[in-house]
Structure 1
Amino acid sequence: MNDTTTTLPQGAAIPFTPTLPTVSTHIYPRGGLDVLSREEVARLRDASAGGLHDLLRRCALAVLTSGSASDDPRAAQELYPDFDIQVRQQDRGVRIELTNAPAMAFVDDRIIAGVAELLFAVVRDLAFTAIDLNGDEELNTSRGITDAVFRLLRNARVLQPSDPNLVVCWGGHSIGQEEYKYTKQVGYELGLRGMDICTGCGPGAMKGPMKGATIAHAKQRRRRSRYIGVTEPGIIAAESPNPIVNHLVIMPDIEKRLEAFVRMGHGIVVFPGGVGTAEEILYLLGILLREENAHLRFPLILTGPTGAAPYFEQIDRFIRLTLGEDAARLYEIIVADPARVAKRMDMGIRKVKDQRIAQKDSFFFNWGIEVPLEFQQPFVPTHELMAGLDLHHGRKPCDLAADLRRAFSGIVAGNVKEDGMRRIEAHGPFEIHGDPDIMQALDALLRAFVEQRRMKISGEYRPCYRVVG
């Protein structure tokens, strides 16, 4: 755990309002963020166009409001309009100055240790991305992008050369109590079997498995458990990290975030979710359907409580219609049986270990899986690009999966990412075109997400898309 020192200016009073108390202070990070270069500090402080200060401020505010139930990326900024963060490089190391920071991140005027760690991770990852990846020509090649993902994860110190045990858990941030309790039960069973958890770091199905695993790890007396949260700047403001995350990684974009999950994880469990979860499923299936990856061991389990059975039936039908029976053979659906999920995942990861040993591949980073460039290049959803997606039969399943993934990614952006929300406000809903049966199935799936309140935690959901046959 990072050591921190928190100091209030002598004689200064803590700003206080009846509803939104704030604290102004400074902290000194320890462990993993001891020093930054002058160039890194300058970029983080630069508020002009091309600088990182505004992005740093938004991401920092997200972690300082860790545990927030809102999924509106503008909410925290409106609640704390006077918040600011500055990074100073001093002779004795880095000093982070916080002005009008949310008091919920402090106890007796001292920042909560876990929140401080997440804050340091924000500064670390944004600084590293700005300098190490800025203008990198290698990002135009598939191999170069994979190397960049590796460097980001290594810099975050989440790659550990130990036996495979990292289970990635995907699922929605907006789920009901029955589904949330189920995610905790699955996390508990995974934790009893010595597995660590990696999620998108937010609430709902991203928090539940971590919470369940903490109890199991305590029972098994595991003292170095990992609860890894992988996010990206467009998502973190809408899905603040949950308090259990002890390793936060901010990837530059959604595509590198998805590749990080696949490269780090040894198996994936998918809980009920919305468009973001559908995007993740399609991303993984599109990769595993490629001939180069046909030999790979990669356990993939879709699971939920009894009430979620219709959800997975609809997902399964959509996948079989669009990607075919070969895609359906890549995953297993288990309903209302947390122990079986954990046993099957444990068995699958043992096979992953055997294959990695046979192929002389590392345990901590899956170099052997081929991720094509079309799955790696950032997709910025404009109205023109969304309307131009090729969602028709007759394409290779892996290629169709890539465009379906982009369609769902665009809807995620329109729902919770500030840039996407601005486009929808300015130009109206995205239009999605394709074969009539695919469009009908897509529309039915999206309508089900809306009816089941899987799109938003609170408030009325206004669709950011229009399906056109």
Structure 2
Amino acid sequence: MTLARVDAEVAPIGTLEALSRAEAAMLLDRGHGGLHGLFRDCALAVLNCGNETDDGKELLDRYADFDIRLIPRERGIKLDIRNAPASAFVDGRMIVGIQEHLFAVLRDVVYLGEEIRNAVRFDEATSEGTTDIVFHLLRNAGILKPTLHPKLVVCWGGHSIGRDEYEYTKHVGYQLGLRGLDICTGCGPGAMKGPMKGAAIAHAKQRFDGRYLGLTEPGIIAAEAPNPIVNELVIFPDIEKRLEAFVRVGHGFIVFPGGVGTAEEILYLLGILLHPDNADLPFPLIFTGPASAEAYFRQIDAFIGAILGVEAQRRYKIIVDDPERVARELKTGIQAVREFRKDKHDAYNFNWSLKIDHDFQQPFQPTHANMRALDLHRDQPPHRLAAQLRRAFSGLVAGNVKADGIREIERHGVFEIRGDADIMATMDTLLKSFAAQRRMKLSGKAYTPCYRII
């Protein structure tokens, strides 16, 4: 089947209306050091909004003839787009929300190339330097609003969820929105879209100007295109900085049912909260879903208890089938966050007090060698074991949906994951349950594992 395609010239909306000659040259450069390839792939993902696919390689292959070229002009810029998905246009004009997302991508790719990669002031080899990069990317995107009181709820969960779970995320988002809370997600479909959709209705009823913040990164954006409700979009260079941005800007956290990506987020967050320096930090965290998801959360809770212990289980509440209670608990928890930040003279818009070990910040490349070398053994503190487990699940996300990870599996076979026998057995049980519940992929095909537990 031939997919409908559109050619167009598009002007910016609201962001990055002019570029320097050096920035334009980087975007036009199709060589190894240029930004054209990165910008092209992220732009295609944004233009694919609404078309269900969670296979980054499949999307890039399907639109291999897609191209986007900068048209430099003295009075501003335009983008020349060739063979774009027709779904991004109405009567020949690009949908405004998608156009905003496209230029948010341009803004962040340019800033990453010009200000971050080439700046000697950012030392990514240190924890502080990495946090500075996250801060500057958020500030450049206009996300850090110093006058707003804490009210941003980060919602995590799967892109491949059942209809009842999706409807539940909307109900929770609605209850949050009625209480004046804003939503931040990974910006894709499923549990990333539902809370925003519910909150948008509630905000309209309450006459609030809602914020729907989406945080993503180049490796995942093709598999999880920003949903059209997102009105603030930021692209981070890697998953580690994206995850740090979530925990720095969020004031309360909800985890809906999901798969390996959600497990990665849970392990990241619990690993940070288990650090001794964060023991007294208020951090509202709720796992929730409809009644049909109760068994799923029992599995997650058992996995956490078996591997990270009771202390990790104390850092969250599980609330099943009660959206109103979830919203009330978050509202109360966020008030405690506000009082704590006020007492500590910490910013409301960026959690500087949170201690994040460099283990959680270093980019992990999911190669076969790196996956085999993971230290999945108990002879280490729980927060360090969580960091290693987080990398294991990050590798599985790459093997499932990221173009580079899928190619790695095609070339060298499945990833091998090794560690202590009890850890491996517990992990294997969890992963098999995800596959049985169809939490691994959107497609109706039977899931083919990208890993082998040893």
User: Which range, TM-score by smaller chain?
Assistant: over 0.9
Matches within 5 A, 1:234-313: 234-313=219-298
The one-letter amino acid of 1:214's match is A
Q: Alignment RMSD, CA only?
A: 1.1
Percent identical pairs in the alignment equals 60
Q: Deviations over 1:328-368 (max 9, x none)?
A: 00000000000000000000000000000000011111111
Q: Which residue number in structure 1 is paired with residue 196 of structure 2? A: 210
Q: Which residue number in structure 2 is paired with residue 400 of structure 1? A: 385
Q: Which residue number in structure 2 is paired with residue 443 of structure 1? A: 428
Which region of structure 1 is more displaced relative to structure 2, 350-359 or 80-89? Answer: 80-89
The one-letter amino acid of 1:457's match is L
TM-score for the superposition, normalised by structure 1: 0.94
Gap regions ≥5 residues in structure 1: 1-17
In the aligned structure 2, how far is the partner of 1:386 from the partner of 1:22? 39
Q: Answer whether contact 2:13 2:99 (CA < 8 A) is retained.
A: no
In the aligned structure 2, how far is the partner of 1:254 from the partner of 1:232? 6
Say yes or no: does 1:374 pair with 2:359.
Answer: yes
Q: Which residue number in structure 2 is paired with residue 121 of structure 1? A: 104
In the aligned structure 1, how far is the partner of 2:242 from the partner of 2:286? 20
Say yes or no: does 1:181 pair with 2:167.
Answer: yes
Which region of structure 1 is more displaced relative to structure 2, 441-450 or 429-438? Answer: 429-438
Q: Which residue number in structure 2 is paired with residue 231 of structure 1? A: 216
CA displacement at 1:89 relative to structure 2: 2.7
Gap regions ≥5 residues in structure 2: none
What stretches of structure 1 move > 6 A for 4+ residues in a row?
none
CA displacement at 1:135 relative to structure 2: 4.1
In the aligned structure 2, how far is the partner of 1:421 from the partner of 1:75? 10
Q: Which residue number in structure 1 is paired with residue 10 of structure 2? A: 27
Q: Which residue number in structure 1 is paired with residue 136 of structure 2? A: 151
CA displacement at 1:100 relative to structure 2: 1.9
Q: Answer whether contact 2:28 2:34 (CA < 8 A) is retained.
A: yes
In the aligned structure 2, how far is the partner of 1:89 from the partner of 1:300? 47
In the aligned structure 2, how far is the partner of 1:75 from the partner of 1:384? 25
Matches within 5 A, 1:443-462: 443-458=428-443, 459-462=445-448
Q: Which residue number in structure 2 is paired with residue 362 of structure 1? A: 347
Residues matched between the structures, number:
450
The one-letter amino acid of 1:210's match is M
CA displacement at 1:19 relative to structure 2: 4.7
CA displacement at 1:460 relative to structure 2: 2.4
Q: Which residue number in structure 1 is paired with residue 117 of structure 2? A: 134
TM-score for the superposition, normalised by structure 2: 0.97
Q: 1:97 aligns with which of 66, 80, 84?
A: 80
Q: Answer whether contact 2:57 2:402 (CA < 8 A) is retained.
A: no
Q: Which residue number in structure 1 is paired with residue 156 of structure 2? A: 170
In the aligned structure 2, how far is the partner of 1:315 from the partner of 1:146? 29
Q: Which residue number in structure 1 is paired with residue 400 of structure 2? A: 415
Q: Answer whether contact 2:71 2:77 (CA < 8 A) is retained.
A: yes
Q: Which residue number in structure 2 is paired with residue 108 of structure 1? A: 91
In the aligned structure 2, how far is the partner of 1:155 from the partner of 1:88? 23
In the aligned structure 2, how far is the partner of 1:332 from the partner of 1:314? 14
Q: Which residue number in structure 2 is paired with residue 67 of structure 1? A: 50
Q: Deviations over 1:162-184 (max 9, x none)?
A: 01010000000000001000000
The one-letter amino acid of 1:78's match is D
The one-letter amino acid of 2:145's match is Q
Q: Which residue number in structure 1 is paired with residue 307 of structure 2? A: 322
Q: Deviations over 1:349-395 (max 9, x none)?
A: 00000000000011111111011111101000111111111112231
CA displacement at 1:309 relative to structure 2: 0.6
Q: Which residue number in structure 2 is paired with residue 10 of structure 1? A: none
